Amino acid sequence: MNKLFTHTDLDGVGCAIIAKLVYGDEIDISFCDYNEVYEKVGKCQPNNYDHIDITDISVGEILGKSIDENYSNQVNLYDHHATAKDLDKYSWAVVKVNDEKTGLMTCGTEIYYNHIGQYIDKEYRLAVESFVKYVTLWDTWRWKEKNSGLAGANAKKINTLFSIYGREKFIKWAIDHIKSGVFPNFTVADLSILEPKQNEVLRYIDEKDNQYIKRKDFAGRVFGVVFAENYISELGNALCERHPELAYTVIIDIGKGKVSYRTIRDDINLGKDIASLYAGGGHAKAAGSEFGKIIVYDVIDKLFKGRIIS
């Protein structure tokens, strides 16, 4: 039995799909958010598995050093976030922000496929490569470029179906389509739910557009803050497009304790300049950090002026 620790977004789930196509039933998958990965990987007993892969998420220097000293022959890490570059010094870690062949930004699914994809059945290798292409377009934001055409539109549809179907159903959907030899092969059922969902997203963005608050950061940059739980990437991107004065947007999901940062500008690196200040990380145009319950309790106390007794 093999083990995979991977992120929860489309790219992380894409890695899980690659793993399932390679290992079949011989893979045990744990999906991790940034606040969970250290604990989950740290508690893992490597001796219980033949091999362990960590994809689209990092473990940090302390745990990385422990892996290097004790399990370097049993663990591999594949990541594309610049905040994980310090781990690239280890032989078991592969951290690439850009693809070596194309020079374009890459993603976890693409890196993982490039390293283990040769073990996937050749019969549907082309469909797998198509799947990897669409995940990469979405995760690197190239789907938004004017020349992305049909490929960009398909990448958006695939991510929308991911949000509609949920993780497990989407994994089955993607694998079934890949094994048919064609990806994507949108069915009538798929298409019938896409348009209403896309209209729902637009209504949600319009609602949140009336709720965002402007603030200035330590460098004097104007940014927008909004509380939201859904359609984070679409919302962040839309707010930046609608309000060019915003250097970036901050989207707070108070229920999950997550903060997402989004920008469409090239003069700021959100992962390095912003998220890292709050123990987070990510890319130049999309990053994230997390906060604990103590922050939520503080908000509640201030909201009710300390009159609630815990």
Q: Given this structure, which CATH class describes domain 210-299?
A: alpha beta
Answer yes or no: are the C-beta atoms of 32 and 5 closer than 8 Å: yes
Structure confidence by residue, pLDDT tens digits, 51-109: 999 999 999 899 999 999 999 999 999 999 988 899 999 999 999 999 999 999 999 99
Q: How confident is residue 308, by pLDDT bands cut at 50, 70 and 90?
A: low
Q: For residues 152 and 40, give the distance between their C-alpha atoms in angstroms, rounded to a whole number.
A: 34
Structure confidence by residue, pLDDT tens digits, 178-194: 999 999 999 999 999 99
Average pLDDT, the chain: 94
Mean pLDDT of 272-298: 89
Structure confidence by residue, pLDDT tens digits, 195-215: 899 899 999 999 999 999 999
- Residue 302 reports pLDDT greater than 60: yes
Alpha-helical (H) ranges within the chain are 10-23, 37-43, 60-70, 108-116, 125-139, 149-165, 167-179, 188-209, 232-242, 293-303
Q: Give the rounded percent of residues in the chain with a pLDDT score beyond 90.
A: 80
Q: Give me the residues paired with residue 248 across strands.
A: 223
- Residue 309 reports pLDDT greater than 60: no
* Number of neighbours of residue 142 by Cβ within 10 angstroms: 17
Q: Which of 276 and 261 is assigned the larger pLDDT?
A: 261
Mean pLDDT of 232-254: 96
Which pLDDT value is given to residue 145?
87
Give the containing element (helix H, strand E) for 77: strand 75-79
Which structure tokens are listed for 164? 């509609």
Structure confidence by residue, pLDDT tens digits, 134-165: 999 999 989 988 889 999 999 999 999 999 99
Which structure tokens are listed for 279? 């123990």
Which pLDDT value is given to residue 121?
94
Q: How do 281-282 and 286-290 pair as beta strands?
A: antiparallel
Answer yes or no: are the C-beta atoms of 93 and 64 closer than 8 Å: yes
* 292 to 27, 178, 212, 230, 299: CA distances (angstroms): 32, 39, 23, 20, 12
Which pLDDT value is given to residue 299?
87
Which pLDDT value is given to residue 66?
95
Answer yes or no: are the C-beta atoms of 189 and 177 closer than 8 Å: no
